[in-house]
Structure 1
Amino acid sequence: MDDDEFDRVAQILFKNVTSLSSVGTAGTLIPITQDTRAVLCGDDSNNVIVVAIRFGNGRCLVFAHNGYLSIFFPNNTTHHDFVKNCRQWLSGGEDAEFESIDEIESMDSVKNNGTILVWNGNNDKNETFIDDLRTFIQEGGALVCATTAWGWLQNNEDKCLSDFPFSCFCASLGVKVTDKCACTPDLIPFKDEMIQFKNVYNVIEALTNEPSNKEYMAIVGSTIKELDNMLPDSLIETLRDMVLNAESNVIPTKTSPITDPSCRQQSIGLCGILCGLCDTKAPGINEFPGDFDDTPSMETDVMVNIQSNNNEWYCTGMFKLVKIIKEYKDNEVPPSAGTTIQIDVSEQAGARGWSARIGCHDDDLRECDELRRWHCISICKPLSG
């Protein structure tokens, strides 16, 4: 399937279909690579709820709510045209059957010919099964899958998305599953203009060509901070250059606050990008109280033991609990801001769900009429042993 055909996948799936019914509070998905396409959005382009994937010789559709999977089985007569279009695109044949794999334990029992697999991702699978499923798609198979990620997290309170097998599976195909909830009407209309940005690669390219475009900046800023380490180095460098070369009118400081609504929106987008760049010091941050005038001393291989029977905050008494992933010569001074750090959980007993917050608090100023600092100065990362 070439790019031109893949670019038309949304129009193919929604041929003679104007909308899709909401089945509950959907999550959101982020199509990242060139082998993914946004298909349907909620209230705006950030609320992607259906993504199409080409993987090897196979094809896949991902939905951000597992309630949608019921429409693909014979006892459901709703959305007939949409299901017909999905069947046609996924398998190229009208007679392809949909087969649930929720209850099976091995891909060995799956029919290989004329079958479109259906997987409710909230039913966890082991690594062997997922590897075999990925191979099935790569060799020309078809899959419809879905999850309600926020629901999975509610049922697994001591875990995070990195522990979620379906999330890891989607990541390997170029799609990020988030814990966010989408805003959608009862009938979600299909609108071409909502999916003008096919994936993260595409929107970053558009922003590079028009760095002052506030719409592009808002989309990139809201998605990048969700991606952790899923972007290639080339795109990270592009975004870093964009931040470091930003105009002064979008860099908030105490002496030059941002009041213009358009500049404020661009600044918020830039801050979102900064949250996704782990080793970049924010421009203008030297005016913010708490930034160091002199480079602080650095401690490596620090071990801290924390025990608790309650959900509590713990201050380590250090600005960073770190194991520096870099060797310095004796005459070199390691940098404070922008240093890559690593926190290793050597042993963890009892409940999981610990996280590390970098930054003093999570006050978000995006709704303020005036920005005297970056609207977000904190980021939280889950810890797992």
Structure 2
Amino acid sequence: MITTFSLLFFQSILNLYSYVDMDKNSDSNMLILGVSQISSPGIPGNISVFGPDSFGIVQDKNGQIIVAGSTYEKGRIVLWGHDGFFKKSSIETGDTGQLLSNAIKWTTRKTAPKVGITNDLYLVNYLNNIGFDARLIEIESFATVDLLIGGIEKTSTKQQIEIKNWLKRGGAIIDSATGWGWKQINPRKKLSDDFARNIFYAQAGLVFADGFSSDTTQDGFLVQQLPSSNTNAYFALDQLAERSSDELNIPIQEIKILSKTLTTAVNCIPTGDRIFRSRLKTILEPRLCEPIPSPDRPITDEDILQRIAMLERIRQSKSLPAEDVEAHLSAKTFPGIPQITAPLVKRSIEIDHSVPGWHSLGLFANAGQLIRVSLTPTSVKKKLKVRIGSTTCDLRNKPFWLRAPDIISEWPLEEQETKIASPFGGLIYIVVTNPKDEGTTITTIEGAIESPYYKLGETNLVDWMQRVRYLPAPRAEIASDKVVLTVPSAEIRALDDPKLLMQTWDKILDLSAELAVLPKSKDYPQRYCSDVQLCAGWMHAGNPIMIPSTTAQNLVDVNYLVREGDWGFYHETGHMFQNSDWTFEGTGEVTVNLFTMYILDKLCNIKPEFGRLSKPNVERQYRLYFKNGSQFKQWKKKPFLALYMYYQLQQEFGWESFQQVFARYHSLLPNQRPKNDQEKRDLWMANFSKIIDRNLGPFFELWGVPISKSAKNSVSTLPMWLPDNFPPTK
């Protein structure tokens, strides 16, 4: 008779050996003994696992690895996707500490090893308190301990060789890093070839990847069993060696994990790797085709071969000499190709060093076309760069592609002449990286074609009407000193009054600065760029602000902007003027809409009460919220409900009250700025109360927004204010 106990025992045996296909002799299951859930500090990054002796330990809800291990000859390694795992708030949450303890014992094969830590006194004390022999060490003393935690990033090449040899002889390393965080700090560098940790750990089949993790529970990551071999790119390649993704007899979710595993590996493994890339080449070459993603025929995460073939093709093209780069067929989708042949031109353009960031040139690089960029001898030291491509959206981690995923290239201008080429083409920019330099540079571009480009105050309107707007390049820019709009050229062919358009956009930026009480002039323009697919959201803030191509026509339609207005455009503009001191948790998508409403009010004469807050569902949310007890955790989840609170203040005290409050924040000394969310809420309530000479403590309390007793006391002598009929009774 099969009992419940025997079924559970059988299932436990299956779980125990779920990873046996990866390493039959592995004792790696001991790593998760006593571990059911670990914490999630911040947003951990992913780890690419790609060696025959490496494996995942913890995965996120999408099957991406956040803790991984590997054997390296006689040594052992465990990597974590965030250094916050070792901080007090995380290590004491769930079974995080138990997993670390298991990792120490597994890597060292000892129950009481000597542990050397390079930079974390708390971790030293924590490990000593749970029975380990831990100490702070200098990295040079690594050979005096059984296990080294951290420190690899501070080592010289010679030290790395010494540590690697020690590891091979039986040493042990535990380390942590966040790949996407490193990318943000080093946007011009490659995670695959410039991140010291990745170069070091790649020989063990592990590298830190550039993806974001997704928690499996509200509190972190569940740990039920070791992840399947589909999370290891080495074994994932075996799945594709003799069959296509259409022939894989595994669930769709596993196919998606397989796809993500392989695309992550292609993105992040060093160019010189000998474990994965040579096998990848062998598998791709016999059936390599030219993938061409488009809105009509996107490449999804189920099209595994096409995805990794495209990523590998892009990677290879970026390593070629400019003379050898060929056009990619997907350039037709985005950024586009000229509809008629256009003459190649040579242009010399003056670049102002005091203006940071991208400088538009009115030039377009055809896909695969060799471009020569020349500088004067004195300008070579100015740390300038040249860029092809106007989007900032990297789609490599997206589940589907409507265009090629990685189409942007930048080159440092370190010689008097630099040759460049892009397989996708795009608008050309000179990038000023050091705006402290004075003076100007004459930059000569040879081999590009002219693109439609209008600059307010510079471009002759007759020339625009008769020639410039009809130039055949597929991308165009309409600009002023404050704003640059980048759209498909088709959207501006009929634009008769670019001057009025840019004057309108200047006003939009001026209104935003006016509400924030900031100077209306900036050192650089705010850019808006359309793309057929974005990497985040419907639109997203940044410079450029990215918008979908379907809205590009509205971006250059002055009548639409003034009469109807565009919540999305004005919302993303508002993000560029938000201040974190008065934007506490739950209000990132709330305080931004003060700018949206202000622009609609002043530019379009659409008052806040007639905008989105007038919709019936907002009124229902408002009444239901108070009926259910006005819980702050619900307030934070509903941006338009939260905005209603700000709207009540605006209706009673006007926009001027917000401007006066914002102005107060500009005069704060560093030690007066709020240091946490509680202080942000307190200061916002107190400042607003003092500006309007009313006690807003009860108003915030009724809304459920937590305010400290001391903050309430600071305005208690002011007369109390509440809106009429507040809180609602029905």
Instruction: Specify the TM-score bucket, using the shorter chain as the normaliser.
Output: 0.5 to 0.7
Residue matched to 1:258: 297
- The alpha-carbon deviation at position 37 of structure 1 amounts to 1.4
Q: Is the 8 A contact 1:227 1:276 kept in 2?
A: no
SS of the aligned residue for 1:201 comes to: helix
Corresponding residue number in structure 2 for 1:328: none
2:156 maps to 1:126 = yes
Decide whether the 8 Å contact of 1:57 with 1:139 is kept in 2: yes
Give the residue type in structure 2 aligned to 1:32. Answer: F
Question: Quick one: distance in 2 between partners of 1:311 and 1:120?
Answer: 35
Instruction: Give the equivalent residue in structure 2 for 1:58.
Output: 75
| 1:5 Cα offset (Å) | 4.5
Deviation at 1:238, TM superposition (A): 1.7
| 2:37/2:222 contact within 8 Å kept | yes
Of 16, 29, 49 in structure 1, the residue corresponding to residue 66 of structure 2 is 49
1:221–1:272: 8 Å Cα contact kept in structure 2?
yes
TM-score (norm 2): 0.39
- 2:76/2:107 contact within 8 Å kept: yes
Structure 1 position 44, deviation (Å): 1.4
1:331 is matched with which residue? Answer: none
Q: Provide the residue aligned with 1:324 in structure 2.
A: none
Q: Which amino acid aligns with 2:209?
A: T
| Secondary structure in 2 matching 1:52 | strand
- Structure 1 pair 59/318, CA: closer, same or farther in 2 (3 Å)? same
1:125-204 aligned within 5 A? 125-152=155-182, 161=191, 162-184=193-215, 185=217, 186-192=219-225, 194-204=227-237
C-alpha distance in 1, partners of 2:107/2:220? 24
SS at match of 1:276: helix
| Aligned-residue offset at 1:27 | 1.4
Give the secondary structure class of the aligned counterpart of 2:358.
coil
Equivalence for 1:329:
none
In structure 1, what residue type is equivalent to 2:170?
G
In the TM superposition, residue 22 of structure 1 has moved relative to its aligned partner by 1.5
The structure 2 residue matched to 1:20, chosen from 35, 38, 41, is 38
Paired letter, 1:134: K
Call closer, same or farther: CA 1:270–1:146 in 2, change over 3 Å: same
SS at match of 2:174: strand
AA paired with 1:23? Answer: P
Measure the CA separation in 1 of the matches of 2:399 and 2:74. Answer: 51
Shift of 1:147: 1.4
Equivalents in 1 of 2:210, 2:93: separation in Å?
28
Name the CA distance, whole Å, in 2 between partners of 1:144 and 1:237. Answer: 33
Distance 1:217 1:21, change over 3 A: closer
Greater Cα shift, 186-195 or 134-143: 186-195
- 1:227 maps to 269
Q: Call closer, same or farther: CA 1:252–1:81 in 2, change over 3 Å.
A: closer
User: Which digits, 9 at most, give the CA deviation of each residue in 1:75-108, with x for residues without a partner?
Assistant: 9996454234223321212111322134755534
Alignment of 1:210-249 (within 5 A): 210-213=243-246, 214-215=255-256, 216-227=258-269, 229=271, 230=273, 231-244=276-289
Bigger radius of gyration among the two: 2
Q: Deviations over 1:197-242 (max 9, x none)?
A: 2521211221233412443334423442333624433412423444
Matched, 1:290 2:337: yes
**1:4 lines up with 2:23 in the alignment:** yes
Deviation at 1:187, TM superposition (A): 2.4
Q: Which letter maps to 1:199?
A: N
For the Cα contact (< 8 Å) 1:69–1:120, is it kept in 2?
Answer: no
Unaligned runs of 5+ in 1: 298-303, 321-335
CA distance in 1, matches of 2:105, 2:25: 14
Structure 2, unaligned runs of 5 or more: 1-20, 120-135, 247-254, 318-325, 415-730
Amino acid at match of 1:173: A
- Verify the 8 A CA contact 1:360 1:378 in the aligned structure 2: no
Q: What is the alpha-carbon distance in structure 2 between the residues aligned to residue 88 and residue 369 of structure 1?
A: 38
Aligned residues: 342
Greater shift in the superposed pair: 163-172 or 196-205 = 163-172
Q: Which has the higher contact order (CA 8 A, sep 6+)?
A: 1
Is residue 2:87 matched to residue 1:87? no
Q: For 1:3 and 1:368, how far apart are their aligned partners in 2?
A: 28
How far, CA to CA, are the matches of 1:219 and 1:368 in structure 2?
A: 13
Given that 2:36 and 2:95 are in contact with CA atoms closer than 8 Å, whether structure 1 keeps it comes out as: no
Question: 1:190 and 1:370, CA in 2 relative to 1: closer, same or farther beyond 3 A?
Answer: closer
Cα separation, 1, equivalents of 2:331 and 2:178? 41
Identity, in percent, stands at: 17
What value does the CA root-mean-square deviation take over the aligned residues? 4.9
Higher relative helix content: 2
